Amino acid sequence: MGLVTRASLTEIATFGRASAAWDTNAAGALQQFPADAIRGTPGAGYLIEGGVTNTVRDPRLELLRVAGTAPALSAGAAVHPHWSTFSPNGITSEIVGRGVLNGLSYVDVRMTGTSTNSYYVTAVDNSAQSAVVGDTFTASAYVAHVGGSMANITNVSIQARLNGSATSTVMELTNSLQRFSRTNTETVAGAACYPAFGLSFPTGAEIDITLRIAGCQFAKQPFLTSLILPPAGNPAPSVRTADNLAISGAPFAAIFGAGAPQGCLVMDIQLDTIAATPNGRYFAQLDDGTAMNRVQFRTDTSGVSLATQRTVAGAGNRGIATINAVTAGAPLRAGIRWIAATGATSLCINGGALGSVVDDFPAGLNTLRLGSSHAVGDQINGRIRLARACAFAPSDAEFRAMCVMGA
């Protein structure tokens, strides 16, 4: 019987991703990882995300024009060819600086004037993405307050503006770049979806504030993902393809035995947000290399419960069990235990009560996918670490003990 404890996944698994991707390193700086390079460490966990497009056409802000530099701005010219200030209300903006900090290219935007109404809104990208009812977008950016004053300003917000509504998150700004986001779901189909920044203030107020802005992103996702950037010098919408991490062949057999007749898988997971998704967010999947025989280990579609479900010889919706214990923002330890001969499967989170089911069990399992299913788009969009995997089914008490964080 095989046993793997707190393993470095890169020692026993294969990993693939067709594009480059970004993550924060141990020093807190953004780092680009080339295609097929996994992000993260054995201790902190590996970042596994689905494919997504950042629709902002200049997320590095390379096309913003600094005041006083050539070519000179003509009267009324925009500071950026893709930005639109559609509610200026007496406030004008100019770019007063740019630089790079912790791997992020930033610009400093000064907004000044006497307000003639109670708000100011600038669209970060005016390309106006299309959406149908139910589409969910997340707008995000790194922002800091680096000049001027918050005097007379009620708040500064990041906005996800869709056809049916505009929602905003008030940013609690400091003089250091922090990432802020806002998610919004479409209620009216159309082509007027974009990210924006807003200022709120009284009418007749004197405004003078400088914001540092970097890493603008607008993605059709119900949660914040890692930063997606095009190559430097090539401003355009950019794509990060899906991460895929799997154990198969000899390493799989060494851990679980041929066909995985029984076993246990315990993983350390971190999800920064809870979100509804069409198929759930996959912690792991055992399968035969196809969709015909598989055991799913994932959140349910609401995102708030841990679930298992199996497909046997192409017949889905078998062996369904759920437990309500998925939380966001802190690491959790989740486990699944199975015995093929009896068809028994059990779930556990953080050593709590088990969720169990008995049903027919798929044969010929030979692949363990970590953080995803066999399908595109089912990635966990979080961090994972393999805590323990074995080819025996522990007792209830032993399984719950294994699912205690730090055990």
Query: What's the whole-number average pLDDT of the chain?
Result: 90
Sequence-separated (6 or more) residues with CB below 8 Å from residue 326: 271, 274, 299, 303, 304, 305, 306, 332, 349
DSSP track, 262-325: EEEEEEEEE-S-----SS--EEEEEESSSSSSEEEEEE-TTSSSEEEEEEETTEEEEEEEEES-
Share of the chain above pLDDT 70, in %: 95
251's enclosing H/E stretch is: helix 249-256
**Cα 183 to chain center, whole Å?**
12
pLDDT digits (tens, 9 = 90+) for 162-190: 998 999 999 999 999 999 999 999 999 99
Alpha-carbon span 348 to 402, nearest angstrom: 9
pTM for this prediction: 0.91
Alpha-carbon span 266 to 5, nearest angstrom: 9
Measuring CA to CA, which residue among 404, 312, 392 is closest to residue 3? 392
What confidence score (pLDDT) does residue 164 get? 87
Q: Under a CB-based contact definition with an 8 Å cutoff, are residues 231 and 7 in contact?
A: no
Torsion, CA 258, CA 262, CA 267, CA 272, rounded to 10: 100
Per residue of the chain (407 residues), give pLDDT as tens.
Answer: 356 666 667 788 999 999 999 998 877 788 999 999 999 877 778 999 999 999 999 999 888 876 655 444 444 445 778 888 878 889 988 888 889 998 889 999 999 999 999 988 888 887 778 999 999 999 999 999 999 999 999 999 999 999 989 999 999 999 999 999 999 999 999 988 999 999 999 999 999 999 999 999 999 999 999 999 999 899 999 999 999 999 999 999 999 999 999 999 999 999 988 888 888 999 999 999 999 999 999 999 999 999 999 999 999 999 999 998 888 888 899 999 999 999 999 999 999 999 999 999 999 999 999 999 988 778 999 999 888 899 999 999 999 999 998 87
Q: Under a CB-based contact definition with an 8 Å cutoff, are residues 209 and 120 in contact?
A: no
pLDDT digits (tens, 9 = 90+) for 228-250: 999 989 999 999 999 999 999 99
Alpha-carbon span 385 to 398, nearest angstrom: 20
Domains and CATH numbers, the chain: 3-51+241-402 (2.60.120.200), 84-238 (2.60.120)
Q: Under a CB-based contact definition with an 8 Å cutoff, are residues 113 and 198 in contact?
A: no
What's at 15, amino acid-wise?
A: F
